[in-house]
Structure formats: C-alpha cells, structure tokens
C-alpha cells in the first residue's frame, strides 16, 4: 500500500495544476468497470488469503478469513454491486476496511490499478450528478483526465455497513 | 491509552464493590452467630472497618451518595461495636438492605445515571429510626481499682470490651510483663494468643519503668473467668507478674455519678510511650486511621479480563506458530536435511512445553472461586426466606471450586432465580412440612465440585418436589404438547417441560406468591456460557437441579469434523461419542431421520444439508455420526470425517454475520485456514424444535 500511495503521489498526470484540495482515490476494477474508493478508507491491501465460506450469511459475504490472527469478514464487491460471481483471478485483491461497528471487512475486488488524485474540479458529488436518486454507497463521479472517461466513486464504509439480505 | 483518571475511577468501582461484598459476607457471618445466640466482636469490627474504608474511598473519589450512606452505616456499626446498641435481627435487616443500596449507588455512579434517591432516603429513615432510644449503659468499671492512667487512655472500644467483660462476671487481672524490645511484637502476640483460651486482653500500656534499656515493661489488662492460680499456672512466665485487680466500694463513685465519656479519653492524643508500640498490633487503631486502612496489604494486582483475553489470543497465535514449526521439521526431513529436522523438532518440543505452561498459567489467573457468587446467594436466601416467612438452612459445599471469571459473572442471575424458585415454590410452609414429617426448617444445598474439565453445581431442596401432573396439564393448556403425546412422555422428559417458555415452577407448586421466573430464561442464559441444566425431582422429597459448566471459555477443546469439504469445530464438552454412520440403520420416523444406538433412538441431522452446503460430488465412503449431548437431549450429527481434537481459541464472528444460527464463532487452524465453530445448543434446538419433545427415549421405536 505504501508503494501504491507513493506511485499515486507522483501520478501519471499533472493533477496538481488544478485548484482546490486534492483527494486520493484507489482505482480498482470489478467486472468490466473501473471504480474509485477513497484511500483513507482502506487499512491495507493484500492478496486474498484462503476464505472459509459461512453458510446462511448475507449473499454478498463470501466468508471469513484470518489476517494475522484478526478475523475478517470477506465481502465480494461484485456481488455487493449485484454483478455475477467472479472467475478466480490471480489479480484479485482484498481491501481491508473498518465498518462503523468496528467490524473489519475485507472487500474483494477483481484488480487494483492505481491511485488518482482528484481536485474539486475533477470530482462531482452524487447528489449533484444524479439528483439524489442514487444508492447511498455511491460517492460521486470522478474525471481523472479530460477525455479519459469517468469512474464511479464508491464509499467503502457504507458499502459494508449495509449488506443486503438478498441481492 | 487509557485515561489515568478513567482507570482510577474503574479501580474505585472495583474496590468499592469488593468492600461491599466483604461487608455483606461479614453480615452473613454475624447473622449466623446471632441465630445461635452468640456475639462475635471481631466480626462487628470487621464490618465496621469495611464501611469505614468505604467511606474513605468514597471521600477520595467524591462519591457523595456513597459517602453519605457509608457514613451513616459507620455510625451504626460503631454504636454496635461499642455496645451502645445491641445487635438484633432488625438491625441486621437494615444492614443487609444497605448492601443493596450501596450496590445500586455504585451501579448508578458507574453508568452516570441518577442515584437511587428513594432507596437512600428510605435507608436513612430506617437508620434514623434506630438511632433514638438507646441510653448509654452505666459503667461498672469504676468499681475496680484500675490505674487511672490506664483508664484515661482506653479507647471507646476497649472501654466497651471492659464493660462487657465485667458485665459477664469475668474477673480482671493485671499482667506486668517485661519484653525485650527487639522481640516485643512477636512476644506480645504470643501472649495475646495464649490468653485467648482464658479470656481476653483488653488493653496494654507501658509502665514507663524498665529493668534495662533493651527492655520495656507493659501492663496488660486481662479479663478472665479463671482464677488467679490457673492463670499463673498456664500463662505465667519468668518475665511476668500476674495480679488480680481488686474491686473497690466507694460511695462517692457510685454507679452513675461518673459518666462513661470521662473514661473515654481520646486515644489519638495518646501519651508518647505508646508510640513506641507497633500500631498494627492494636487493630482498632488501624480501623480509625484512614491512611492505613486504605493501603492495600495484599500482594495482588487487579487486571481487566479483556487483557487476559488478549493474552489468550496471543497464546492461540503462538499455537499456530508451533504447528508451522512442526511442519517445517517434516519438510526438512523429507528434503533430506535430517540434522536440521531434528533441531527444529527439538525446538518445537521445547516451545510446545513452554507454551503449555504459559497457557495453564494464564488460565489459572482467570480462575476465581465460586464462593464469590455463593456469598451473594446466601444473602438472597436470607432475604427471601424472611420475605416469605420460611425458615431456610443453606448448606454450601465446594465454594472454593474455581471457574473462569467470565462464567462467574454470568452465573449469579440464573442461580439466583433457581434459589428463589426453590424457596418460593419448592420448600413448603413450616406447617405443611411438619405434617409430612419433615423438620420445620427447609434445607437448600448448594454444592459445587470439579469433574474433569467441567464444574458441576447442584441446587437441591428438600421441598415438595415438582408436581408432574400439574406440569403436564399446564403444558397441554399452553399447547406445548398434545394430549396424545403426553402419554408417551418418559418421566425425565416430563420434568424437562419446566424449561419451556411460559411455564414456571409456580404453576406446578401451587404456590401463589407470583415470583416464578421462567426456567426457560435460566436455561438460555446458562447456555450462553456453555452450561447445561438437568432436573431431577421426587414428589415429597425434593428437587435437584444440576448445572454442568465448562471451566473456562477462553480455550475450548474442540472436535474437528469435515462436512461438504469444509472443516468445522465443535466443543468436545458437548460431544459424547462419534460412531461410524451405518446407512442401513437409518430409519425415518415422522419425517425425521433416526438411528438406533445401543437400543435407544437417536435423531440425526446431516450437517452439510442442515447448513445448506452442497454435498461434494463424491460421497465419502465412510461417514460418521457425532453424538452431541446437551443435558438429556441428544442429536447425532452426520459428517464426512472426524479429524481429531484440538485446543482452540474461539473468536466471535463480526456483527454482520453473527446472527447466523448454528455458529458460535470461528477459529484459526494451523494452516492459516479458518474453521467455523458450531453452536451445539442452537443446532440441537433447531433440529429438535419441530417436535420439541421427541428426545431419544420418546420417539417410537421402529
């Protein structure tokens, strides 16, 4: 994670040219789409350890695993977002985050790409873009580079705080 | 990390709680002595010291309410110990009440909620009511030819003891003893000890004369029933002169003309010679000196149980490291590095041994004697028996049996409910008891003992027993059981009905005092700490409840099994045996799969199916039935493999999945994998719930 952050800080672009405070987002891939989650909400990024399936758990929950003795609830982001199950991939990563209740979650994503720095001008909050009618785990839209498309910014903590009983 | 103020506050609560408990224990002992018509000044003193310390503590931490109450209690106890007020059952009632009030205040302070003003007010009123009408006793002390210098420095307490002894017709003696300065502490204690058999040393004072600079001469004032010759014969020594203190008759000093307060010189402005004495030998100075009594004399450290849990977790992690070492050694061996393998193996063994020691040591620290909770129960027994006007004898054995602190905390409520039920509904009224030829006083026996890795607690009363007929009627009325099933019920299962929601022992004991606590709640609460309860009852003879508890919750010996390709752990304490699953022996009874086990019918449940896990494509050639026993209920769990036993540390599942039924947590196995820990109680409940009563013996054979 430290490496990633450093890499991101250098950045492939000159985002600093823009005005206003800058927020750092980790760009990750789930299915065909790229998403961004704020770096401050991630405790750690690791290769997924063996996960033990927990029967009767909410569908987005893959199971539990142990990270250095800490019991972690593993949530698969694909299922949490209502996408189909992922084929096993060597690029899959687990993002550790802490829910509001203090429970430690590992959010499994298909791939971790890079860190982008978004200034106010490159970031549109959900309520202004979608007019309020949007899932509360969507933070907004980011435009890392003109002409480079947009990424949906997710609120990781909100994603794990409310795990639906059905997908 | 912890705010020091917060920690000090926490310590205040713990300490105050302990003092209140000690105080309560003293009261119970006092109650016991009072019942046989005795009096024990040492006990009153101890109780006094307890509230005195409590007052000091409350003052230090600005606990106003507690300070107020303990101050009032101190006054009362002081009056008791100085004999200004006789100890009676009524006084003890108030004191017992005060214990509860103190507990309430502490709870309120801790939770920063409103203090129980009404309770405090009520207690103060009762204390006020006691206060009046106790005239000071006349002192007969003046009849004796005592050294006025000695009388002047008597503490109020000593004066009280002096008076009491004279009232009891004991003669007074003066022992003039030469002590070696270097050994005076021990020698003095020795004399006191020997004197105990003949009477009581009331006070002692240096005479100011001594034969040499290395010695000191003390006058000991002693009261005794024995005559001078006996005392000289038994106590006498070379360095001692014993004389009887003669009585005198002087009209001008007739009783009443010298008020007692004159005698009660203030000890604290004492003559200097006394300062040379070791204060601790004069226990009642210690009692009135706050600085001393607040100082902890024991070599103990208070530790938050969470810290011990943390330690236990680390030990669990080390267990994993141990497993890795073992595998490393095997790998080295298979790679042909024989010497390295041996060295690692040696390291592994030594590590294993030390880790075992460490684990035992930490477990031992967590252990507390059950006496802690039994003391509280004794108070409850006294209180309830007075409320319902039944004479109850509580017999406790095995109070020294040790169990995990966390379990003790969760144990007091269920036990209290059970005791209350026993007194309220189990024990008959004195009249009824005499009719059936029993002693008027009912007996409740509270027994605890260790049995393997379990602690057994039995609550036994010699009351009327459970009325099975009434119990059955009630169960049928509530629709818990059909009338046709009722006939098939074995006796044991019939008694098991009392654990059903909605049924209380009140309904079956025919008593209407309305305090029956649902035994289902008791059972559920005990299950939370891994406890199992069984009931036996004989009509007219009594009821016996047996609770089986694990010694500790921190480390659980677990059986590892595999189902649907996944490893599960199950506490060994709930497993009675594992047998090979014989498909041909499987029968279907009322939609439920059962097998016969030694002539008894055992309901079985396929674990994978029950948890909704897909069965592996290839069925295991041989499967197993793990027989779980929860009290009288049994269930066979069909699994693919039994992998062995292991000591595990159970970690709770996160809140998002903790509500999953059938699981109680997870544990890490050696290979970084996590195994889910099955919850035997909810598994058995879920599987057997559809026909709750279909326990093995009941289901029709087929």
Q: What are phi and psi of B302, to 5 degrees?
A: -90, 135
- Min Cα distance B301 → chain A (Å) is 28
Q: How many CA atoms lie within 13 A of B657 on its CB side?
A: 32
Q: Mean pLDDT throughout B463-471?
A: 82
Q: Could you tell me which of B618, B544, B629, B623 has the C-alpha nearest to residue B582?
A: B623
Q: Nearest-5° angle of CA B404, CA B410, CA B416? A: 120
Least confident residue range of A73-77, B245-249, B287-291, B529-533: B287-291
Is residue B298 very low, low, confident or very high in pLDDT (cuts 50, 70, 90)?
low
Host domain of residue A46? 2-161
Number of domains in chain A: 1
CA B698 centroid distance within chain: 38
Q: Which position has the higher pLDDT, B157 or A167?
A: B157
What is the signed CA dihedral for B288, B289, B295, B297, rounded to 10 degrees?
-60
Residue B385 CB partners (closer than 8 Å, separation 6+): B391, B392, B423
Is residue B138 very low, low, confident or very high in pLDDT (cuts 50, 70, 90)?
very low
Residues from B in contact with A at Cβ < 8 Å: 313, 316-317, 320, 566, 611-613, 651-657, 660-663, 666, 668, 672-676
CATH of the domain at A152: 2.40.50.180
Which chain B residue's Cα is nearest to A58?
B657
The pLDDT assigned to B513 comes to 38
The pLDDT assigned to A35 comes to 92
pLDDT tens-digit readout, B586-599: 888 877 889 888 88
CA A31 centroid distance within chain: 13
Chain B touched by A160 (CB under 8 Å): yes
- Counted residue by residue, chain B has a size of 702
Q: Is the pLDDT of residue B282 over 60?
A: no
**What ranges make up the beta strands (E) of chain A?**
22-30, 33-38, 44-46, 61-67, 70-76, 93-98, 104-109, 111-119, 123-125, 138-142, 151-154
The pLDDT assigned to B123 comes to 83
- For residue A164, the chain B residues in CB contact (below 8 A) are none
Is residue B129 very low, low, confident or very high in pLDDT (cuts 50, 70, 90)?
confident
Please report, rounded to a whole number, the percentage of residues in chain B having pLDDT higher than 90: 10
Residue B158: both structure tokens together: 């000593």
Is residue B454 very low, low, confident or very high in pLDDT (cuts 50, 70, 90)?
confident
pLDDT tens-digit readout, B665-675: 899 886 778 99
Query: Rounded to an integer, what distance in angstroms lies between the CA atom of residue B206 and that of residue B195?
Result: 18
* β-pairing verdict for A33-38 and A123-125: unpaired
Question: Cβ contact (<8 Å) for A52 and B612?
Answer: no
The pLDDT assigned to A41 comes to 92
Q: In this structure, are residues B23 and B51 in contact, taking their beta carbons and an 8 Å threshold?
A: yes
The pLDDT assigned to B149 comes to 67
Q: Is the pLDDT of residue B676 over 90?
A: yes
Is residue A101 assigned to a domain?
yes
Q: Could you tell me which of B396, B296, B368, B289 has the C-alpha nearest to residue B56?
A: B289
Least confident residue range of B12-21, B373-382, B401-410, B502-511: B502-511
pLDDT tens-digit readout, B534-558: 888 888 888 999 998 887 776 788 9
Interface A-B, measured as beta-carbon pairs within 8 A, has a size of: 77
Chain B touched by A96 (CB under 8 Å): no
Q: In this structure, are residues A68 and B651 in contact, taking their beta carbons and an 8 Å threshold?
A: no
Q: Is the pLDDT of residue B153 over 60?
A: yes
Query: Rounded to an integer, what distance in angstroms lies between the CA atom of residue B106 and that of residue B116?
Result: 10
The pLDDT assigned to B509 comes to 46
Is residue A18 assigned to a domain?
yes
Please report, rounded to a whole number, the percentage of residues in chain B having pLDDT higher than 70: 82
pLDDT tens-digit readout, A50-78: 999 999 899 899 999 988 778 899 999 99
Least confident residue range of A158-167, B304-313, B510-519: B510-519
Query: Rounded to an integer, what distance in angstroms lies between the CA atom of residue A136 and that of residue A151?
Result: 16
Is residue B137 very low, low, confident or very high in pLDDT (cuts 50, 70, 90)?
very low
**What ranges make up the beta strands (E) of B330-401?**
367-369, 392-397
Q: In this structure, are residues A39 and A25 in contact, taking their beta carbons and an 8 Å threshold?
A: yes
Q: Mean pLDDT throughout B55-66?
A: 79
pLDDT tens-digit readout, B384-423: 888 888 888 899 999 888 888 888 888 888 898 888 888 8
Q: Is the pLDDT of residue B160 over 50?
A: yes
Residues of chain A with pLDDT under 50: 1-17
Is residue A166 assigned to a domain?
no
The partner residue sitting opposite B666, judged by closest CB among A56, A71, A99, is A71
pLDDT tens-digit readout, B612-645: 888 776 767 788 999 998 877 889 999 999 998 8
Query: Rounded to an integer, what distance in angstroms lies between the CA atom of residue B222 and that of residue B244?
Result: 9
In the predicted model, what is the mean pLDDT of chain B?
A: 78
Query: Rounded to an integer, what distance in angstroms lies between the CA atom of residue B577 and that of residue B545?
Result: 25
Residue B284 CB partners (closer than 8 Å, separation 6+): B45, B155, B157, B158
Q: Is the pLDDT of residue B271 over 50?
A: no
- For residue A101, the chain B residues in CB contact (below 8 A) are 654-656
The pLDDT assigned to B277 comes to 41
Question: Cβ contact (<8 Å) for B611 and A58?
Answer: no
The pLDDT assigned to B152 comes to 67
Question: Cβ contact (<8 Å) for B666 and A52?
Answer: yes
- For residue B658, the chain A residues in CB contact (below 8 A) are none
């Amino acid at each position: 994670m430290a490496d990633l952050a450093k890499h991101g800080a250098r950045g492939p672009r000159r985002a600093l040219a823009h005005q206003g405070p800058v927020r750092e987002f980790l760009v990750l891939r789930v299915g065909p789409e790229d998403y961004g989650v704020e770096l401050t909400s991630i405790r750690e990024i690791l290769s997924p350890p063996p996960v033990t399936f927990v029967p009767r758990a909410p569908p987005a929950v893959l199971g539990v695993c142990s990270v250095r003795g800490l019991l972690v609830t593993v949530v698969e982001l694909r299922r949490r977002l209502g996408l189909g199950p992922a084929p096993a991939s060597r690029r899959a990563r687990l993002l550790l985050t802490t829910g509001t209740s203090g429970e430690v979650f590992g959010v499994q994503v298909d791939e971790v790409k890079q860190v982008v720095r978004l200034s106010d001008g490159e970031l549109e909050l959900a309520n202004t873009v979608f007019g309020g009618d949007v899932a509360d785990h969507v933070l907004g839209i980011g435009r890392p580079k003109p002409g480079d498309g947009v990424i949906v910014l997710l609120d990781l903590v909100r994603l794990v705080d409310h795990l639906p009983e059905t997908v | 990390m912890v705010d020091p103020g917060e920690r000090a506050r926490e310590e205040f609560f713990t300490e105050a709680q302990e003092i209140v408990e000690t105080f309560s224990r003293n009261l119970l002992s006092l109650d016991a002595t009072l019942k046989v018509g005795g009096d024990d000044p040492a006990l009153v003193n101890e109780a006094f010291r307890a509230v005195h310390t409590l007052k000091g503590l409350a003052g230090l931490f600005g606990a106003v309410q507690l300070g107020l109450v303990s101050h009032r209690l101190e006054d009362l106890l002081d009056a008791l110990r100085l004999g200004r007020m006789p100890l009676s059952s009524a006084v003890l009632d108030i004191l017992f009440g005060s214990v509860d009030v103190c507990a309430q205040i502490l709870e309120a302070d801790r939770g920063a909620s409103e203090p129980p003003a009404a309770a405090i007010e009520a207690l103060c009123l009762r204390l006020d009511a006691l206060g009046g009408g106790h005239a000071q006793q006349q002192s007969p002390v003046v009849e004796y030819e005592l050294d006025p210098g000695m009388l002047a420095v008597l503490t109020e307490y000593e004066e009280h003891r002096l008076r009491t002894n004279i009232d009891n017709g004991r003669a007074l003696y003066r022992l003039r003893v030469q002590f070696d300065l270097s050994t005076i502490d021990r020698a003095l204690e020795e004399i006191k000890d020997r004197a105990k058999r003949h009477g009581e040393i009331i006070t002692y004072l240096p005479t100011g004369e001594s034969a040499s600079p290395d010695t000191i001469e003390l006058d000991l004032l002693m009261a005794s029933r024995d005559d001078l010759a006996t005392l000289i014969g038994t106590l006498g020594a070379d360095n001692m002169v014993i004389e009887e203190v003669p009585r005198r008759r002087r009209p001008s000093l007739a009783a009443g003309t010298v008020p007692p307060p004159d005698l009660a010189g203030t000890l604290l402005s004492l003559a200097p010679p006394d300062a040379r004495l070791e204060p601790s030998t004069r226990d009642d100075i210690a009692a009135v000196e706050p600085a001393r009594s607040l100082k902890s004399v024991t070599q103990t450290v208070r530790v938050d149980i969470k810290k011990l849990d943390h330690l236990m977790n680390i030990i669990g992690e080390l267990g994993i490291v141990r497993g890795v070492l073992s595998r490393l050694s095997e790998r080295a061996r298979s790679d042909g590095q024989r010497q390295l393998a041996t060295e690692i193996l040696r390291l592994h063994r030594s590590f294993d041994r030390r880790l075992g020691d460490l684990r035992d040591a930490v477990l031992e620290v967590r252990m507390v004697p059950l006496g802690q909770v039994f003391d509280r129960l004794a108070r409850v027994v006294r209180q309830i028996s007075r409320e319902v006007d039944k004479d109850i004898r509580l017999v406790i054995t095995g109070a020294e049996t040790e169990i995990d602190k966390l379990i003790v905390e969760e144990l007091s409520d269920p036990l209290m409910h059970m005791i209350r039920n026993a007194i309220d509904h189990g024990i008959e009224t004195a009249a009824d008891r005499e009719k059936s030829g029993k002693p008027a006083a009912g007996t409740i026996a509270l027994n605890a003992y260790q049995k393997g890795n379990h602690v057994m607690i039995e609550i036994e009363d010699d009351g009327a027993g459970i009325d099975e007929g009434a119990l059955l009627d009630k169960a049928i009325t509530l629709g818990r059981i059909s009338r046709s099933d009722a006939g098939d019920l074995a006796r044991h299962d019939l008694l098991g009905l009392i654990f059903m929601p909605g049924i209380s022992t009140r309904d079956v004991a025919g008593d209407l005092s309305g305090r029956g606590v649902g035994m289902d709640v008791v059972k559920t609460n005990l299950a939370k700490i891994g406890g199992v309860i069984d009931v036996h009852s004989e009509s007219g003879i009594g009821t016996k409840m047996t609770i089986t508890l694990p010694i500790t919750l921190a480390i659980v010996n677990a059986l590892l099994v595999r189902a649907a390709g996944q490893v599960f752990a199950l506490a060994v304490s709930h497993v009675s045996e594992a047998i090979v699953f014989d498909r041909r022996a499987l029968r279907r009874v009322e939609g439920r799969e059962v097998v016969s086990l030694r002539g008894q019918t055992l309901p079985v449940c396929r674990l994978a199916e029950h948890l909704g896990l897909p069965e592996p494509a290839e069925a295991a050639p041989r499967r197993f039935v793990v027989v779980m026993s929860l009290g009288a209920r049994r269930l066979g769990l069909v699994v693919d493999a039994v992998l062995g036993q292991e000591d595990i540390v159970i970690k709770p599942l996160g809140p998002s999945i903790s509500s999953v039924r059938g699981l109680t947590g997870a544990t890490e196995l050696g290979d970084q994998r996590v195994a889910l820990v099955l919850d035997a109680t909810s598994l058995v409940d879920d599987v057997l719930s559809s026909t709750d009563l279909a326990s093995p013996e009941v289901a029709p054979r087929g």
